[in-house]
């Protein structure tokens, strides 16, 4: 390796960072940026081949060359690494897209030091453009948050919501149009369905500021695709307390608008609102749930949301042809799932009619007496798995609910030759597409062909709209930093701080708090196994070596399994919770429980972290806790 490094340097192959680039592009009156969250090159291949087979004979032995909408608009590709990890999360990547700066994983609209940085949406607002966010996640999720809020930790959902609508943003209301999920963060604590910890009524406050508030499909339809009398800015429409449905589920329930419907409505509204102005609009669109399906290793949900993304791209292209003063670019924030296609034949996915999320909801809610019949007659057919052998059905029935869903994921994926290398993100470059009509399109293609760092894309938009990110940053920082929520909750959420806190001994021992129910391995055996696996407490990775994510509140997320011992955490206040954690805390919990019960006691242990750091604020409505037990016993 040393010889190869010397040889590369001698030949001039020395790694270089991107030099700052400038563009002399034709100005655009309107700019649309689309984020297909968690969408990688293999994702597009899967969707393209699926559609091609359905349209061209359904014979994988005689494939036909085919292109979806995004394939026709490829410009180049984009690097995605964050400031503290080769594998980015959505927050760091969206901050790069929105602000043009590198930052740590979990950061929302702040740089690596935690200081706020201006976003392209805020810059457009200050320059008197209209602005909009259209997503299928909760509206205060990482990607839309990074365009409209500034917090040190992406899990500060309540603070993000308050900033997005202007309640606590130093610049006031900067977003004219918001579509997505996440109603619960806009309702005061006393309202049904709220997930706030306070009595701030953001929907009520928004109405006082002149926003039209929509919370269901009927109210959305009153906008008449953005052409009705009700479609007057500003407005906010949130159509689910949580994330909006996967497209594969939405078409069955029809209680929410599709991403395409929201985009059409938003563009018509923004076009009408700016008809008499020299300035147009900036619109960020996110096909959010592509990423969630990648995390869940759910190929059918992934597929249908990718097809919807391509439908949106096709619609936006046609819109630009009719409105040639508009430019569009699109790139994913990262790939998710480490998707590969080997022995690939997507046709078995045609029989899947529900996401694994929906399947899990239905299976968990079933309280009848014939579980086998319900599994065979309802759950397996909607999963595209009708006709499984009795032995496989018996195996599935023997599993806990969460493990059954995991097995279904594997069975569905294997049937289609779809393989996942991770339940998280990967470091692969993502594809950049773009479109402009006429000479604008030619200049866009010439300017943006090639490989880019993700921080460079907003600089192109900044130039195209003639706005100034630096001015926004100055205005934000002129308001001080007290309004920027600090990093909150333990354990840590990015590697650098994790190593710092443990290496500087800023965390006291984690403590045992209570025993779990059910069977569990010997505490002493688990302690010995993890010590042998991970080494001494002085290990350079202690405090930050394990990573995982919990998708839902109170979901137990496995971080590491060793023999019969499993270790993990559950968020008691926030969903979709990414974290880096220290195995020494697990040992602390086990040591504390051994002192109470003895080393040969079989006890599942729940423990609490005890960290004191001026950059950490405990959340008042719940802590993250460790469990040490075998969840399948």
Phi, psi of 7 (to 5 degrees): -65, -40
Residues β-bridged to residue 285: 34, 134
For strands 74-79 and 430-436, give the pairing.
antiparallel
For strands 177-181 and 577-581, give the pairing.
unpaired
**197: Cα within 13 Å, side-chain hemisphere:** 11
Nearest to 218 by CA among 269, 271, 194, 254: 254
Residue 537 buriedness (CB in 10 A; 0-12 / 13-18 / 19+)? middle
Sign of the CA dihedral running 487, 489, 491, 493: negative
Q: Between the CA atoms of 378, 380, 381 and 387, what dihedral angle is there, to the nearest 10 degrees?
A: -120
Q: Between the CA atoms of 591, 593, 598 and 601, what dihedral angle is there, to the nearest 10 degrees?
A: -120
Nearest to 128 by CA among 187, 174, 159, 70: 174
Degrees, nearest 5: CA angle 197-200-202: 120
Find out whether 8 and 16 touch, Cβ atoms under 8 Å.
no
For residues 584 and 390, give the distance between their C-alpha atoms in angstroms, rounded to a whole number: 44
Residues 52, 82, 83, 90: which is the catalytic one?
Answer: 90
| Long-range Cβ contacts of 532-541 (<8 Å, 24+ apart) | 533/562, 534/583, 537/584, 537/587, 540/499, 541/499
Nearest to 238 by CA among 211, 215, 213, 258: 215
Find out whether 74 and 432 touch, Cβ atoms under 8 Å.
yes
Structure tokens at 76: 């180049």
Structure tokens at 476: 């934000």
Nearest to 242 by CA among 360, 361, 139, 138: 138
Find out whether 231 and 219 touch, Cβ atoms under 8 Å.
no
Find out whether 328 and 351 touch, Cβ atoms under 8 Å.
no
Nearest to 245 by CA among 213, 284, 195, 292: 292
Q: Has 402 been annotated as catalytic?
A: no
Packing angle, helices 41-55 and 299-322, rounded to 10: 90
CB environment 72-110: b (16+ within 10 A), e (fewer): ebebbbbbbbbbbbebbbbbbbbbbbbbbbbbbbbbbbb
For residues 568 and 576, give the distance between their C-alpha atoms in angstroms, rounded to a whole number: 14
For residues 40 and 525, give the distance between their C-alpha atoms in angstroms, rounded to a whole number: 41
Nearest to 203 by CA among 150, 159, 165, 243: 165
Phi, psi of 77 (to 5 degrees): -145, 170
Active site residues: 90
């Amino acid at each position: 390796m040393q010889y190869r490094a010397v040889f590369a340097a001698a030949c001039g192959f020395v790694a270089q960072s991107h030099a700052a680039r400038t563009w002399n592009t034709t100005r655009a009156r309107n700019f649309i940026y689309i984020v297909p969250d968690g969408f990688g090159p293999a994702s597009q291949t899967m969707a393209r081949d699926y559609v091609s087979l359905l349209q061209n004979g359904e014979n994988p032995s005689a494939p036909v060359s085919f292109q979806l909408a995004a394939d026709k608009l490829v410009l180049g590709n984009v690097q995605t690494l964050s400031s503290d990890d080769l594998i980015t999360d959505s927050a760091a990547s969206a901050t790069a897209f929105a602000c043009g700066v590198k930052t740590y994983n979990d950061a929302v609209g702040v740089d690596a030091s935690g200081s706020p940085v201006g976003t392209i949406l805020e810059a457009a607002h200050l320059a008197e453009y209209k602005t909009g966010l259209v997503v299928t996640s909760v509206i205060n999720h990482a990607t839309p948050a990074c365009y409209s809020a500034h917090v040190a930790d992406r899990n500060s959902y309540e603070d993000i919501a308050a900033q997005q609508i202007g309640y606590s943003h130093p610049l006031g209301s900067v977003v004219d149009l918001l579509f997505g999920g996440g109603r619960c963060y806009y309702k005061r604590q006393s309202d049904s369905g709220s997930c706030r910890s306070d009595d701030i009524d953001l929907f009520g406050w928004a109405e006082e500021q002149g926003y039209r508030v929509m919370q269901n499909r009927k109210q959305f339809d009153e906008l008449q695709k953005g052409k009705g009398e009700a479609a007057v800015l500003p407005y906010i429409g949130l159509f689910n307390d949580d994330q909006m449905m996967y497209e594969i589920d939405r078409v069955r329930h029809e209680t929410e608008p599709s991403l395409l419907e929201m985009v059409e409505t938003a563009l018509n509204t923004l076009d009408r609102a700016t008809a008499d102005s020299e300035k147009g609009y900036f619109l960020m669109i996110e096909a959010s749930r592509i990423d969630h399906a990648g995390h869940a290793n759910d190929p059918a949900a992934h597929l249908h949301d990718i097809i919807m993304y391509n439908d949106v791209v096709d619609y936006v292209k046609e819109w630009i042809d009719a409105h040639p003063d508009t430019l569009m670019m699109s790139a994913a924030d990262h790939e998710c799932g480490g998707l590969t296609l080997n022995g690939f034949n997507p046709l078995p996915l045609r029989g899947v009619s529900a996401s694994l999320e929906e399947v899990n909801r239905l299976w968990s809610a079933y309280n009848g007496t014939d579980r086998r019949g319900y599994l065979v007659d309802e759950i397996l057919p909607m999963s595209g798995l009708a006709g499984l052998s009795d032995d496989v059905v018996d195996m599935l029935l023997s599993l806990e609910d969460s493990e059954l869903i995991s097995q279904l994921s594997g069975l569905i994926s294997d049937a289609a030759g779809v393989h996942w290398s991770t339940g998280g993100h990967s470091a692969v470059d993502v594809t950049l597409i773009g479109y402009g009509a006429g000479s604008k399109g030619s200049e866009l293609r010439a300017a943006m062909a090639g490989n880019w760092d993700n921080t460079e894309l907003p600089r192109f938009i900044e130039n195209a709209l003639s706005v100034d990110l630096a001015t926004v940053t100055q205005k934000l920082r002129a308001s001080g930093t007290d309004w920027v929520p600090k990093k909150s909750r333990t354990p840590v959420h990015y590697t650098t701080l994790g190593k710092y806190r443990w290496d500087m001994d800023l965390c006291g021992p984690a403590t045992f708090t209570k025993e779990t129910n059910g069977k569990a391995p010997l505490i002493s055996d688990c302690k010995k196994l993890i010590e042998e696996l991970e080494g001494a407490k002085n290990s350079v990775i202690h405090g930050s070596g394990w990573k995982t994510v919990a998708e839902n509140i109170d979901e137990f997320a496995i971080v590491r399994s060793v023999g019969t011992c499993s270790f993990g955490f559950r968020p008691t206040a926030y969903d979709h919770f990414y974290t880096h954690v220290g195995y020494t805390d697990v040992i602390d919990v086990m040591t504390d429980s051994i002192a109470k019960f003895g080393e040969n006691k079989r006890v599942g242990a729940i423990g609490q972290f005890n960290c004191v750091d001026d950059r950490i604020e405990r959340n008042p409505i719940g802590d993250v806790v460790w469990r040490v037990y075998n969840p399948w016993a």
